[in-house]
Structure 1
Amino acid sequence: MDQLQAMRVFARIVELGSFTRAADDLNLPRATLTHTIKRLEARLGAHLLQRTTRSVSPTRDGETYYGHCVRLLADMDEVEAGFRDAATQPKGRLRVDMPATLARHLIAPALPDFFKRYPQVELELGTSDRYVDLVREGVDCVVRSGELPDSELVARRIASLQQVTMASAGYVRRHGLPTSLADLHQGHLAVNWASPNTRRAVPLEFTVGRVVREVSLPSLVTVNGSDAYAACCEAGLGIAQFPRYRFGDALASGNLVALLTDMPPPPMPLQVAYLRQRQLPLRLRVFIDWVAGLVTTLA
């Protein structure tokens, strides 16, 4: 294994904190990684990694060497990407994570078009609402709603989704149809959404004039996943707020009822986030542009 590849192996072990995960990520035998690190340490005359039964972390020398590796590999990738992009189609594996709702209702049905355009790209699609550590988990980008607090990521806003307050028809029959924010406090319930990161329940939001008003209601159930949030609302357990695109058919059929339509929730920003780097791989650039074009139909 050449020196450049050895540096890539070392960097990936540090980033994933595990020989086994790095071997899976690089599609190499674990024994090859062990042998590579031994030869690298012998070449440098330094101990680079310290191992426990649960994890692998860099030594002080390893941290210094890792910093050099990241810079050198980024420079090399930038040079090679410039040549590849000019002469080839995007190709390779792309790891993406996005909410299950978005994947099921919008992205997955349109993927045949993406692969028709870019047949040499292989997509590994994760679906979650949780925080994803892009470096540790080897993910190229995430699609997330709301604001992203992590300043280490580059966030590109690709849409502002119109939202609607709704409840099931059965819930409205039992609890009545609210016509004001004051009515909400007269025996109404919410399906509470808890942030997967903070675990705090998020209040309902209503735009009154130019002011966003927050309303917290009692709840029989609190969830932290979009599928469970939707299922509990459809089951009649309380009021919830969603992007409109997902429930057009249910609203049209009357199974779900839009509430307080003159005071809609503020639009939900939809963003793609990825690590800061000098030049994005072509496969990542075309995927981001494709998703951005797709979701503009929802805004």
Structure 2
Amino acid sequence: MRIEDLNLFTIVVKLGSFTAAANALDLPRANVSRRIGELEKSLNAQLFFRTTRQLRLTQHGEAYYHELLTVLEGFEQAKNKLLDIDEKPVGKIKVGFLPESDEALQPALAKFQQMYPEIELDLRITNNYATDIYTQALDFVIHAGKVQDSGFIARRLLSLGRSIYASPEYLNKHGVPKTLQQLAQHEAICYRWPDGTLDDKWDLITDIVNVNCRFSCNHMGFVRRAIVGGQGIGFMPPLFALAAIESQSLVRILPEYESKKEDVWLIYPDRKGISLPTRLLIDFLLQEIPERAGLS
């Protein structure tokens, strides 16, 4: 009986099917089914009722599952103690992140792996932390906005505001707007939110500015590149454009106006048995990302 198979059993229970567990762990479905069958054989007990439509726990499976969670948590804590003594963290961390955050996150993760070369990182783009954290078997997720589900631990990473930017080429050609009212005379690059809403009303602390949207996209990286390319003026978090700001490919305009801020969170399941590599990365990002944001 292997610890990996016991962990696999708990994931199948959480996700409700062999197929979902196989997708989350990047395994063939047949592999998952075979390993659960071998676990049942070694225990001499049936853990699941299997039908073509549904997979549910037997009475034995229900009792075994709840006891097993405590055992696996203790095992993880014991393993962490050994790693603490050796000071050589080893393992794999699966992280969910917003597609727009890649520019800020990639340099930080590269620095982390230089510090801990034996830790493997597996990054997954996510849009819904409450479901993705289980369906993709993620160790933690980076999420922007409100945290709705109280079944998770949420640690605030930073508060993210947005600023108004344009490229030097665009400003040389079209002029620099001196007032918020003059923005209406310029071409705007607008973000489209996941629910389809077009962000053509830029929400500042003191004003809401209606802009003339010439180009829109639901990926902030594409919006950034369009602004750098001189297609118009944009409204975006500086954290998502640090390289362009530092190289002066983007220039902040009307800097006296600040946007309302949105919290960004590190979210993970409410469990004590978080692995040492995961704990190290969470603590690292809680310090590193706000420092990088301060560069802007």
TM category (shorter chain) comes to 0.7 to 0.9
2:119 is matched with 121
* Residues 10/247 of structure 1: CA separation in 2 closer, same or farther (3 Å cut): closer
| Cα distance in 1 between the residues matched to 2:246 and 2:48 | 65
**How much does 1:255 deviate?**
4.0
> Cα distance, 1:122 vs. partner?
1.4
CA–CA distance in 2 between the matches of 1:251 and 1:281? 36
Q: Equivalents in 2 of 1:90, 1:65: separation in Å?
A: 36
Residues 28/69 of structure 1: CA separation in 2 closer, same or farther (3 Å cut): farther
Q: CA deviation at 1:110?
A: 4.2
Change (3 A) 1:83 1:285: same
Describe how 1:81-230 pairs up with structure 2 within 5 A.
81-88=76-83, 89-100=88-99, 102-104=101-103, 106-126=104-124, 128=125, 130-132=127-129, 133-161=132-160, 163-173=162-172, 175-185=174-184, 187-196=185-194, 198-202=195-199, 203-208=201-206, 213-230=207-224
Query: Between Structure 1 and Structure 2, how many residues are aligned?
Result: 284
For structure 2, list consecutive stretches of 5 or more residues without a partner in the other structure.
none
Aligned to 2:75: 80
Give the superposed CA RMSD. Answer: 3.4
CA contact (8 A) 1:16 1:137 kept: no
Runs (5+) with no aligned partner, structure 1? none
SS of match in other structure, 1:48: strand
CA positional deviation for 1:260: 1.7
Quick check: 214-223 or 271-280, which moved more?
Answer: 214-223
Q: Does 1:281 align with 2:260?
A: no
Query: Secondary structure in 1 aligned to 2:282?
Result: helix
Letter paired with 2:154 = A
| Counterparts of 2:61 and 2:215, CA distance in 1 | 46
Give how far 1:99 is off.
Answer: 3.5
Q: Equivalents in 2 of 1:124, 1:145: separation in Å?
A: 20
Question: What's the secondary structure of 1:151's corresponding residue?
Answer: coil
Give, as a single letter, the amino acid of the residue that structure 1 aligns with 2:50.
Answer: L
Determine the structure 2 residue equivalent to 1:269.
263
The question of whether the paired residues in 2 share the 8 Å contact of 1:165 and 1:265 is answered with: no
Q: CA deviation at 1:134?
A: 0.6
Q: Counterpart in 2 of 1:50?
A: 51
Following superposition, which runs of at least 4 residues in structure 1 exceed 6 angstroms of deviation?
none
For the 8 Å contact 1:143–1:270, the answer to whether it is kept is yes
- The one-letter amino acid paired with 1:140 is D
Is the contact made by 1:158 and 1:295 (CA closer than 8 Å) also made in structure 2?
yes
The code of the aligned residue for 1:230 comes to R
Any conservation in 1 of the 2:244–2:250 contact (CA below 8 Å)? yes
Rate the CA distance shift 1:184–1:129 in 2: closer, same or farther, 3 A.
farther
Partners of 2:48 and 2:61 within 8 A in 1: no
TM-score, structure 1 length as denominator?
0.77
Q: What's the offset of the Cα at 1:37?
A: 4.2
State the AA in 2 paired with 1:226: M
CA distance in 2, matches of 1:102, 1:216: 26
Deviations 1:97-127 (A, max 9, x none): 22455434x443344542343333211123x
Q: What SS is found at the alignment partner of 2:212?
A: coil
State the percentage of identical aligned residues: 24
Matched, 1:256 2:250: yes
Q: Answer yes or no: is the 8 Å Cα contact 2:17–2:55 preserved in 1.
A: no
